[in-house]
């Protein structure tokens, strides 16, 4: 009985220390990380499915390490949903540092063939893209940081001559 009581006291003390440490990390001076889409690589392209990698970078503007537990994402081209899903690898972005990482995605452009063909048929006309979702952060108690990037790409710039 005495052994169990001591174990409970030690566990209680550890939880108190961990919780107080976490509360100091959630102060008002903590800034959201910046997530950027660097590049999209085509890994394998078949008729009914395409495997790609989103190359992303996270910049951590804080003086503490950032624990990343995953990413929920959606990729849209000219209002056409190309891919959405979850990425659940854990990693750490050092304090005031940055980290590049890749997210594997699978798409089915066949269902959007008409629209994609129309976009590629005008190689000098910009195609609007949007990456949206949220970054799952935190070690014990998670936080979701909303991410959103958008811009234009020129299909002709991506097609090799």
Question: What confidence tens digit (pLDDT) does each residue in 49-92 have?
Answer: 888 898 999 999 999 999 999 999 998 888 889 889 999 999 99
Question: What confidence tens digit (pLDDT) does each residue in 14-53 have?
Answer: 444 444 344 444 445 788 899 888 888 888 888 778 888 9
| Distance between CA atoms of residues 80 and 152, nearest Å | 14
- What's the pLDDT score for residue 160? 58
- What's the pLDDT score for residue 111? 82
Q: What mean pLDDT, rounded, does the chain reach?
A: 80
Answer yes or no: is pLDDT of 12 > 60.
no
Mean pLDDT of all residues in 124-136: 89
- What's the pLDDT score for residue 18? 43
- Tell me the pLDDT band of 10, cut-offs 50, 70 and 90: low
- What's the pLDDT score for residue 70? 92
For the chain, which domains are there? 38-158 (2.60.40.10)
Query: What is the sign, positive or negative, of the torsion defined by CA atoms of 79, 82, 88, 93?
Result: negative
Return the number of other C-beta atoms located less than 10 Å from residue 40's C-beta. Answer: 17
- What's the pLDDT score for residue 86? 94
| Distance between CA atoms of residues 60 and 94, nearest Å | 7
Record the tokens describing residue 122, joined without a space.
């005008």
Q: If you search the block for the tokens 């919780």, which residue do you land on? A: 19
Pairing mode of beta strands 143-153, 80-87: unpaired
Question: What residues contact residue 60 under an 8 Å CB cut-off, 6+ apart?
Answer: 33, 66, 93, 94, 95, 96, 97, 98, 99
Pairing mode of beta strands 91-93, 127-137: unpaired
């Amino acid at each position: 009985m005495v052994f169990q009581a001591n174990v409970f006291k030690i566990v209680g003390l550890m939880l108190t220390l961990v919780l107080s440490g976490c509360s100091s990390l959630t102060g008002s001076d903590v800034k959201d990380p910046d997530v950027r889409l660097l590049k999209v690589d085509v890994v394998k392209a078949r008729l009914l499915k395409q495997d790609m990698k989103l190359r992303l970078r996270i910049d951590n503007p804080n003086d503490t390490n950032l624990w990343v537990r995953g990413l929920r994402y959606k990729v849209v081209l000219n209002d056409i949903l190309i891919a959405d899903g979850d990425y659940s690898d854990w990693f750490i972005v050092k304090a005031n540092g940055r980290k590049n990482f890749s997210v594997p995605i699978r798409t089915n452009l066949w269902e959007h063939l008409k629209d994609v063909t129309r976009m590629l048929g005008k190689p000098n006309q910009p195609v609007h893209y949007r990456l949206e979702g949220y970054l799952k952060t935190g070690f014990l108690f998670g936080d979701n940081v909303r991410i959103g990037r958008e811009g234009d790409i020129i299909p002709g710039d991506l097609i090799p001559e």
